[in-house]
Structure 1
Amino acid sequence: MYTAKFLPEIELRKTKLQNAMKNTEADAMLISSNTNLFYTSGRIFSGYTYIPVEGEILFFVRRPVDLKGDNVIYIHKPEDISSIMHERGINMPQKLLLEDDVLTYNERVRLATIFTNATFDNSSQIIRNVRAIKTPYEIELIRESAAKHASMYHRIPAEYKDGMSDTEFSIELERLARLHGSLGIVRIFGSSMEIYMGSLLSGDNADTPSPYDFALGGAGLNSSLPIGCNGAMIRPGTTVMVDIGGNFTGYMSDLSRVFSLGEIPELAQNAHHVALQIQDAIIEKGKPGVPVAELYELALNTAKQAGLEEYFMGHRQHAGFIGHGVGIELNEKPVLAPRSKEILEENMVFALEPKFVIPHVGAVGIENTLLVTKTGIEKITHCPEEIIPLD
């Protein structure tokens, strides 16, 4: 299933999940989502990860057919699990945790016919809390992703050609990301959240509300995916905000930068400067033990003091957060929001994105990926932060 080199990492993750499980009085958890299968095994497969509160992980695999390992057990259907556990003398759980936030009703009903004597509870938030604290191995993968992400962003201005639409520019940047090793897919938690490789927002399209819980919206190219570029020409006097996701290693980094065509109004320039001030203030204040709600309030108050509140985190529609955790998924914990009860902890990784939308100009602001260290905040995405001219 995984190499001997990766075994200590799997053991560490297993221990973290088992420790979290002990607070629930559960006997085991059963995992079936791609994200958490990857977290618990180091790869994607069709099947289940079974983690008892004590003992070894079992991987019940349907596909692919070439996986090997002492704990890899092939099944034809989920119902095989109960007979295999009986044959191996493994006690069936009395309380089993399932990923209820992502499990379909039919899947849950089917599992209830397999674990007939068990009561069920939700493991989704337990796993998300565990995944919020990254291991050293995960941090290295995020650093690698961040470095490739930043390298790609350095080359963005060279991809612009006079007369481009936002879609044409976005296509070139998506190609650039793939040439730098992007895996293409951006994993997001939540059934109502979807995006392609990221978004590019130019001019008034940055002010278009979206149904998705992203910082900014955009009309998109079709009502079936209303997010990002809409095919409009990039015009003088407007900005282009590039927010292409950075999945280069299976672990995400997040990065936004602003470009401009021609002169942009002083209001937009000032708002961008305030966004950089917010970033610096949060990096200075952030450290283990700080409530994330305080960081949100710091950002909002800075925007208010600058007289820019109506443009902060959107104009026609405002996002209710200024940052979010990143890892295997783009929107992990913590969420930097006003009512969040979360506290910064060492080895959390999050994207900070104070942004403003100026009508008829576009979006300005910044987004970087940050690591919470023992003593403070480390920025791990590095490329120019000023507004960069395309002409």
Structure 2
Amino acid sequence: MIQTERELKVLKIREQMQRNQLEACIVSTPVNTYYLHQCIFQGYTYIPLEGEVFSFVRRPSDFNLKALQLQDGHCHFIRKPEQIIEVIQAAGLTLPASLGLEGEEMPQSQWARFEKMFATSQIKNISHMLRQARSVKTEYELEQIRQSARLHEAVYRNIPSFYRPGMSEKDFCIEIEYQMRKGGCLGLFRCYGIDMESFMGSVVAGDNAAASSPYDFALGGAGHPSNPIGATQETALREGQSILVDMCGNFSGYLDDLSRCYSLGKLPDIAYRAHQVALDIQAYVQENLRPGVICEDLYNGALKIAQEAGMAEYFMGCRQQAKFVGHGVGLVINELPVLAPRMKEPLQAGMVLAVEPKMVIEGIGAVGVENTFIVTENGGEKLVSLSDEIIDLLA
């Protein structure tokens, strides 16, 4: 029997529920609602360990319930969450002994409300569990990410034509953002975590690449005090310094991540040596993006390559070094898994990761690369064919 996309995802969530001894869970965040239904509404989806799911819609008031393609009696408009109890009991279901909620995203007041509603249930936080379910993509999701990567690549191929003499970082960044939006990018850049936020990406030139960021991204950049990351109007694009373009592509609701390095004329030799080490690291990681490989081992192998090449002091930053070399992508830019120390999780076929070995050199800027890969039995499937080399904008 051919399963629908939602049925495949519900199955993945139920596998996690069984591991975590949950009889039911409730999903309500936009990311997880879209994950299940390929649309967003304000409301809740109740997933029992067995049987059909229920969806409860608060807004929009004219939402087409039939679009959810659930069985009759399993889609309802509600005014308040307490009505969930009424519906599931009317359907002949008993309240679960254990219930999962998105604790890392749900306000405490909402959590307390559900505790009162499900007074006899043990309530557990399922945010990490749902991230694990999302980490292995369905074929539909893989095609959505491939589509984003293709359209993203099409814009990047034209980046050299966007440059104009006298541009600042911010000018160049805005032009790239404009062309990405014209090319179909939705502009929305979802992050996981209440202390993570950004826009479509960043452009950093010269020493601005070394400016430390409060966010857990590979690169910093001074940005603006209200968004301290990425480009500034004050940083001019100058000869002898690198320009690193790191933009997120969201052309389908699913994200890819892509970085390329540019220059105005020739860079100092150390920049090209460091860039080659980054490419060597990428090749090593790509070759080993196979099921069963441990995430931590890939980070350690990448760090070893940087150390043996004498580039460890520049690896993933200089003043502040990021402790990862790759991260999952999907509906948010920082999905699981993460290629980082102490990450013991084995890779699985169908995981999608952005691999971003970068070097930041004081006085020159950032070099390196970022590409999005799918984990397969034969190593990472690279989603673009764009050159990884440093491109001279004056050539």
The answer, yes or no, to whether TM exceeds 0.5 is yes
Could you tell me which of 58, 66, 71 is aligned with 1:62? 58
1:216 equivalent to 2:213? Answer: no
Cα separation, 1, equivalents of 2:377 and 2:17: 26
Contact 1:81 1:114 in 2 (8 A): no
Name the counterpart of 2:121.
Answer: 118
Q: Distance in 2 between matches of 1:117 and 1:41?
A: 29
| Superposition deviation, residue 84 in structure 1 | 2.0
The amino acid across from 1:228 in the alignment is G
CA contact (8 A) 1:10 1:41 kept: yes
Determine the C-alpha separation between the residues in 2 that align with 1:28 and 1:381. Answer: 40
Match of residue 157 from structure 2: 154
1:251-270 counterparts in 2 under 5 A?
251-270=254-273
Cα deviation 1:4-41 (Å, max 9, x = unaligned) = x9x71111111111122112221100011111011111
Q: C-alpha displacement at 1:113, in angstroms? A: 2.0
Post-superposition shift, 1:246? 0.6
**Counterpart residue number, 1:47:** 43
Q: How many residues align?
A: 385
Q: Distance in 1 between matches of 2:331 and 2:8?
A: 17
- The offset of 1:170, in angstroms, is 0.6
Q: Secondary structure at the match of 1:230?
A: coil
1:120 counterpart letter in structure 2? I
- For 1:369, the equivalent position in structure 2 comes to 372
Tell me the amino acid that sits aligned with residue 226 of structure 1: P
The answer to whether structure 1 residue 358 and structure 2 residue 354 are counterparts is no
**What's 2:75 paired with?**
72
Equivalent pair of 2:289/2:376 in contact (CA under 8 Å): no
Stretch of structure 1 that moved more, 323-332 or 230-239? 230-239
The one-letter code sitting in structure 1 at the alignment partner of 2:230 is: G
1:275 to 267, 274, 278: 278
Measured in 2, the distance between the counterparts of 1:305 and 1:166 equals 33
Residue 86 of structure 1 deviates from its aligned partner by 2.3
Counterparts of residues 1-391 of structure 1 (less than 5 Å): 8-64=4-60, 65-69=62-66, 70=72, 71-220=74-223, 222-231=224-233, 232-391=235-394
SS of corresponding position for 1:254? strand
Query: In structure 2, the residue corresponding to 1:215 is in which secondary structure?
Result: coil
In 2, Cα distance between equivalents of 1:367 and 1:254: 7
User: Aligned pair in 2 of structure 1 residues 285, 66: CA closer, same or farther (>3 Å)?
Assistant: closer
Using the TM superposition, name which of 279-288 and 342-351 deviates more.
279-288
Q: Look up the equivalent residue of 1:390 and give its one-letter code.
A: L
- Give the TM-score of the pair, scaled to structure 2: 0.95
Q: Distance in 2 between matches of 1:131 and 1:228?
A: 28
The 3-state SS of whatever aligns with 2:258 is: coil
The Cα shift of 1:67 comes to 1.8
| Letter of the 1:176 counterpart | Q
**Residue 255 of structure 1: SS of its match in structure 2?**
strand
2:69 corresponds to which residue? Answer: none
Kindly indicate whether the alpha-carbon contact (under 8 Å) linking 1:246 and 1:253 is maintained by their aligned counterparts in 2: yes
Unaligned runs of 5+ in 2: 67-71
Q: Unmatched 5+ residue regions in structure 1?
A: none
Q: Distance in 2 between matches of 1:253 and 1:315?
A: 26
Partners in 2 of 1:362 and 1:375 — Cα distance? 34
CA distance in structure 2 between the aligned counterparts of 1:381 and 1:190, rounded to whole angstroms = 28
Please say which of residues 113-122 and 46-55 is displaced more in the overlay.
113-122
Write the letter of the residue equivalent to 2:229: I
- Give the drift of 1:87: 2.3
In 2, distance between residues paired with 1:263 and 1:11?
Answer: 54
The DSSP-based 3-state class of the residue aligned with 1:341 is coil
User: For 1:360 and 1:108, how far apart are their aligned partners in 2?
Assistant: 50
RMSD: 1.2
What percent identity do the matched residue pairs reach? 46
Query: What SS does the corresponding residue of 1:211 show, helix, strand or coil?
Result: coil
CA distance in 2, matches of 1:129, 1:311: 32
How far is 1:57 from its partner? 1.2
